[in-house]
Amino acid sequence: MQKPLRNLPLRLGLTLWSHPQWQQTFYGRGTTAAERLEKYAQVFHTVEGNTTFYASPSPKTVSNWKAATQADFRFTFKLPKEITHEQMLTGSRDALNTFINLMEPLHEKTGLWTIQLPASFGPEYLPRLQQFCRFFPARFPLGVEVRHPDFFAKGPAETGFNQWLIEEKINRIIMDSRPVFAAKPDSPAIIDAQKKKPRIPVHALATASRPMIRFIGHPALAENHGFFQPWLNKLVSWIDEGRQPYVMIHTPDNCLAPELAQQLYTALQQKTALPALSVFPAVRDQNQLSIFPDDIS
């Protein structure tokens, strides 16, 4: 099991904790779907909770997520798309309160509540976002991801947005989709990823204490290291400033996302003092079995 995580300089995670292709390489033999989060949390420090964007979990599911993770593990939960994309933050206070109350068992295990906004949410709606963020309890750490081009144009719209985030201590979520768009569109997974992921500039700005990077990786793992190289110094700089970055790793089909995260974390360890990442449960179990070869049927 992991050592306590509360004082980690950086939190590493993926965009999901359950993937059938990880059964042999990550979870280990005999792991059920219900056990996957527990196995995931033995290795990674956080996870991007995308499931809440599409549908709210049941109260029992929320309780199960709490029971499956150690006290120092941290989720990041996206607000439901009903609030962010369908209602565009308008008339959504009741829906937000319902969601927050549903997630109450996990309040202490939530590192960021993330507000992902569609590309149609432009600077003219900034007052709406500012009002909406006032509905959250003051103790809730927030992250905002925007996709409208004007928020990346380095003009008055972006300057005003960033200044507000800094004043309110709200984290700007940073999407780095360069690696996936550098891949040849020669598989359904890459074509789908390039269709759905935004191709926006990378503005590596920390506006609060928990900057989040969403790194959308190239399917060929070795190709990612060049793209990640600039992040090594940036992440070290943020850590030295007393911030705790969240680094979320994607790949087009996420089949090799655990391995990519492990490789990039190892590169970071060459730059700054980070605790060792626990071995994957499947590897640990295989090592234990190899000690007693006669027990293998």
**CATH at residue 108:** 3.20.20.410
Q: Provide the 3-class DSSP secondary structure of residue 74.
A: strand
| Cα distance between residue 111 and residue 46, in whole Å | 8
d(CA 257, CA 15): 9
Distance CA(115)–CA(184), nearest Å, equals 31
72 within some domain: yes
Mean residue pLDDT across the chain: 93
pLDDT band at 5 (very low <50, low <70, confident <90, very high): low
Residue 82 domain boundaries: 11-289
Residue 285 is predicted with a pLDDT of 76
Number of folded domains that form the chain: 1
- Start-to-end CA distance of the chain, whole Å, equals 27
Residue located via tokens 């999901």 = 16
> CB burial class (10 A; 0-12, 13-18, 19+) of residue 132?
buried
pLDDT at 6: 57
Is the pLDDT at 226 greater than 80, yes or no? yes
Cα–Cα distances (Å) from 32 to 2, 19, 36, 38, in that order, read: 21, 11, 7, 11
| 164 close to 227: Cβ distance less than 8 angstroms | no
> Rounded CA gap, 122 and 6, in Å?
36
β-partners of residue 175 are 214
| Pair type for strands 212-216 and 110-116 | unpaired
Residue 108 in this model has a pLDDT that exceeds 50: yes
Tens digit of each residue's pLDDT (9 = 90 or more) over 153-185? 999 999 999 999 999 999 999 999 999 999 999
pLDDT band, residue 29 (cuts 50/70/90): confident
**Per-residue pLDDT at 288:** 60
In a domain, 4, yes or no: no
Q: Contact at 8 Å (CB) between 11 and 46?
A: yes
pLDDT-derived band of residue 80, with 50, 70 and 90 as boundaries? very high
Verdict on whether the full-model pTM lies above 0.85: yes
Residue 173 within a domain: yes
Residue pLDDT, tens place only, 180-196 = 999 999 999 999 999 98
Residue 295 lies in a domain: no
Euclidean distance between CA atoms 247 and 245, whole angstroms: 6
> Tokens for 104?
């109450």
Per-residue pLDDT tens over the stretch 109-125: 999 999 999 999 999 99
Residue 57 in domain: yes
What confidence score (pLDDT) does residue 50 get?
Answer: 87
H or E element, residue 98: helix 93-102
Query: 10 Å Cβ neighbour count for 104?
Result: 10
Kindly state whether residue 157 falls inside one of the protein's structural domains: yes
Residue 294 domain flag? no
Is there a domain that residue 6 lies in?
no
Element (H, E) at 291: helix 281-291
SS3 161: helix
